[in-house]
Amino acid sequence: MIIVVVKFLPPICFFIFGLFWLYLAAAEFFEIAEKNGLPVLKKVGIVSTLIVSFFFYTQYIQLDLLLISAVMAISLLSILTIRDWKKTTASIGVTLFGVIYIGFLLSYQFSLRLVEGGGEKAVALLFYLYFVVASGDVGAYILGTSVGRHKLFYSLSPGKTIEGLGGGLLFNISSSLIAKWWFASFIPLSHALILPVVLGIFAQLSDLCESAFKRGAGVKDSSNLLPGHGGVLDRIDSFIFTTPVFYYYYIFFLK
């Protein structure tokens, strides 16, 4: 599905498609926050996430102005909504973090889709990100379950192992080289070796961060929306940190 939307449909279709998944991801995040006993403004957070994503796609507002606007709007809405003033600071902090965590970080995929007018290079960049990060997840699972013995962060994510981390990085690098040969020849060989390591590390950190949220809420999955696979956040958690990292890596080193 994602291949068809990215490659064969105009950028606006990718935005609409992505907006739907961002809505689900934001809803799951704020539900996890509520299970943690945090005074989150769920509806405000979800709507703010979608508004932030809209401005990322349209590029009507610079990112610093967008962030300032989000801080002020959520602060004012919290003051108007929360009746227990002792919870005001926590409400603003949690809601704003959720908007940044989901709305800002993941919306960089919309920025990637619009690179150089949204042409073939933009498509290749998105496919490179998906291919390398997803391959790393597969590699981490295969080696982690088959030969994993040494725990990486047992108290937070018991299933993660150092061997799995190594396997993930190996798959990251291998898939990057395949992508360079297949559809991303514009990436120099040196970057095709360095970039997947960077993405692999941030993918693991991103996954651990979501694990921390779920651990605090006492849940195994972000939701049961996808039977056998958990929730939307469980499927996209590796992309939350890697998306903006990849975007700025492209801007500073590959553009």
Q: Is pLDDT of 222 > 70?
A: yes
Measured in degrees and rounded to the nearest 5, phi and psi for residue 157 equal -140, 90
* 42-58 helix and 88-98 helix, angle to the nearest 10 degrees: 40
Q: Looking at 92-245, which runs of residues are DSSP E strands?
A: 151-153, 157-161
Mean pLDDT of the chain: 90
Q: Are 106 and 22 in contact (CB under 8 A)?
A: yes
Q: How many CB atoms lie within 10 A of CB 16?
A: 12
218 vs 129, more confident:
129
Residue 9 and residue 67 share a domain: yes
For residue 68, what are the domain limits?
A: 1-113
Q: What is the pLDDT of residues 47-60, one digit of tens each?
A: 999 999 999 999 88
Measured in degrees and rounded to the nearest 5, phi and psi for residue 37 equal 80, 20
Segment 33-40 shows an average pLDDT of: 85
Locate 205 and state its tokens. 């950190």
Residue 123 and residue 248 share a domain: yes
What is the DSSP code string of 24-49? HHHHHHHHHHHHTT----HHHHHHHH
Please name which of 173, 165, 133 lies closest in space to residue 149, comparing C-alpha atoms.
Answer: 165
Write the CB contacts of 234 (distance below 8 Å, at least 6 apart in sequence): 210, 221, 222, 226
What is the DSSP code string of 182-201? HT-TTS-HHHHHHHHHHHHH
The structure's pTM equals 0.94
User: What are the beta bridge partners of residue 226?
Assistant: 230
Residue 125 and residue 108 share a domain: no
Which of 72, 91, 113 delimits the end of a domain?
Answer: 113
CA torsion through residues 17, 195, 172, 200, sign: negative
Q: Is pLDDT of 155 > 70?
A: no
Q: Are 102 and 26 in contact (CB under 8 A)?
A: yes
Alpha carbons 212 and 215: distance in angstroms, whole number: 5
User: What are the beta bridge partners of residue 19?
Assistant: none
Q: 61: helix, coil or strand?
A: coil
Residue 41 and residue 136 share a domain: no
Structural domains of the chain, count: 2
Locate 224 and state its tokens. 């049961």
Residue 224 and residue 166 share a domain: yes
Residue 131 and residue 43 share a domain: no
6 — pLDDT class (breaks 50, 70, 90): very high
Residue 100 and residue 59 share a domain: yes
Residue 145 and residue 101 share a domain: no
